[in-house]
Structure 1
Amino acid sequence: MRRYFIELSYDGTNYHGWQTQPNAVTVQEVLDKALSTVLREPIETVGCGRTDTGVHAKEFFAHFTPQPPEGGAFDGHVLTTMDRSLNSILPRDIAVKNIFEVDDEMHARFSATLRSYQYHIHFNKDPFKNNYSWLLRDEPDLELMNQAAKIMMEYTDFSCFSKSNTQVKTNNCKINRAEWLKTDDGSIIFHISADRFLRNMVRAIVGTLLMVGRQEMAPEAVRNIIESKNRSNAGTSVPACGLYLTEVKYPPPNLLKGEQ
């Protein structure tokens, strides 16, 4: 059985997140149905992570293992045709970018070494940013928020930002980027990268940093919140509309056959 990676992007507005669940439409469910139609066999994908309801993905990977065709593998022409066939039947808010074969040990979720997210906030009413950015009335202090974000990079246990009752072996994550930047149109974007993320972690971090930006607490107070390991001490989770998964990185290219 050969393994294939599929690279896609999606607008999460109309979906209850990535992962298939009963009584709700999800990106994984729609993608699996499309793959099953094109390949004429039941297909179940494994995603690189789990985005929540309304969260978007500019870059997302999943893997699947179809029955081998005659000859043992899909060639480049067949994969390109598969790509086009999928895009012709997928809804407009899900787009397949690439399909390529990978080594058997490559796993969309567990082989990923880095994930990056962005959170978008704007301050002037804009109908074209509905569902894609969070509208705030008052602009927070970016300098204070960046001071607090820098402190977060000193820690690894982020239990205080994790959704309750999640079944994970550890709440440790290694953050290697956390900063706010202002855009040319006056909006602000939070950039964060880590080896892994907990459920609801980014939205909880943004909510906490905004408390600092509104001067409801000092940047150093973030230390007490993290060290408490208590979710109730952190800020309220911000709306999903402004959150994007923007990048997923894997081991060196020689392990990704599609990148050679």
Structure 2
Amino acid sequence: MDNFDRYFLEISYKGTAYHGWQTQPNAITVQEVLNKALHTFFRKPIETLGCGRTDAGVNATQFYLHFDLENDIAETDFSNVIKSLNGLLPYDIAIKNIIKVKNDAHARFDAVSRSYQYHIHFNKNPFKTETSWLVRDQLNVASMNFAAAILMQYEDFGAFCKANADNFTNICKITKAEWEVTHEGLIFHISANRFLRNMVRAIVGTLVEVGKGKLKSSDLHLIIQSQNRSSAGASVPACGLFLTSVKYPYIK
């Protein structure tokens, strides 16, 4: 497409009903549903590219994607476009903003930071079954936070990457990793320049093993240095994971 304008969409979605973000054969995904809504509204096929992939059942309170149009959208029409697209989408996908960007802006490669949260609750709660993980064990949060801090001493996280993920590199720069105690449970906050596939859920699973006393905080050094996925803990359920922030140098 030689003459086009590029736009970012900021969206949020509840991932329970979807097999992740990226379009797949024989499985409903967020991207597939969104592309259909865009096709209906603009009356032409629209190809989108997301800021990353989220696995089946994972949620996003902030997710960016870009798409191209041959015809410019007037900024005064942005609110009407958002309203119309939201009317075409199911309740569990919401468009929050539309931003016109430079034609070479890229939703995936231009992101400089991504943040996730993982939610844990300790008492049965029917309103949290799809957005938090129920843990019945007592957890030592101080030990979990000590272990989480060790993550920021390293950059190669192959030990927390899904097998056969075929990454170009396992190098990531984690800038935040800490547990927050809430009145209902725990929230794990983690930020990095990039994440490997299944990385956050594997890290949380390992830190929970520390909290249960099955691993020592200092074991994180050996696990990370092993670069072996089988050395780390099991991946926790997708329901508690939220992509919460994606940052770009040109978006405030």
Q: Answer whether TM exceeds 0.5 for this pair.
A: yes
Partner secondary structure for residue 149 of structure 2: helix
Alignment equivalent of 2:192, drawn from 183, 194, 197: 194
Of residues 10, 15, 18, the one that matches 1:12 is 15
1:112-131 aligned at under 5 Å gives the runs: 112-131=111-130
User: What displacement does 1:80 show?
Assistant: 1.8
Alignment-derived partner of residue 220 in structure 2? 222
Residue 95 of structure 1 corresponds to 94
The CA distance in 1 between the partners of 2:225 and 2:148, in whole Å, is 15
Q: CA deviation at 1:78?
A: 2.2
Q: Note if 1:211 corresponds to 2:214.
A: no
What is the letter of the counterpart of residue 199 of structure 2? Answer: M
**Where do residues 127-142 of structure 1 align in structure 2 (5 Å cutoff)?**
127-142=126-141
* Letter of the 2:172 counterpart: C
Answer yes or no: is 1:171 the counterpart of 2:174.
no
Once residues 219 and 102 of structure 2 are traced to their aligned partners in structure 1, the CA distance between those partners, rounded to angstroms, is 46
Post-superposition offset of 1:93 = 0.2
- Residue 105 of structure 1: CA displacement? 2.2
SS in 1 for 2:45: coil
Helix, strand or coil at the partner of 2:178: strand
Shift of 1:176: 0.3
Q: Measure, in 1, the Cα distance between the counterparts of 2:222 and 2:215.
A: 11
The one-character-per-residue Cα deviations of 1:103-137 (angstroms, maximum 9, x if unpaired) are: 12211000000000000000000000011100011
Paired residue type of 1:40 = R
Instruction: Decide which of 223, 243, 246 is 2:244's aligned counterpart.
Output: 246
How far residue 138 of structure 1 moved from its aligned partner, in angstroms, is 1.4
After superposition, residues 45-194 of structure 1 pair within 5 angstroms as 45-68=48-71, 73-185=72-184, 187-194=185-192
Q: 1:79 Cα shift?
A: 2.1
Query: 2: CA distance between counterparts of 1:39 and 1:98?
Result: 17
Indicate the residue corresponding to 1:235 in structure 2. 233
Give deviations 1:226-251, integer Å, cap 9, x for gaps: 00000000000000000000000001
- Determine the C-alpha separation between the residues in 2 that align with 1:9 and 1:96: 7
CA-CA distance at 1:5 after TM superposition: 0.3
Unaligned runs of 5+ in 1: none
Paired residues, number? 249
User: Which amino acid in the other structure matches residue 31 of structure 1?
Assistant: L
For the residues of structure 2 that align with 1:105 and 1:184, how far apart are their CA atoms?
A: 45
TM-score, normalising length: structure 2: 0.97
In 2: Cα distance, 1:217 partner to 1:124 partner: 24
Hey, what's the Cα distance between the residues in 2 that align with 1:96 and 1:167?
Answer: 31
SS at match of 1:211: helix
Which structure 2 residue ranges, 5 or more long, are not aligned? none
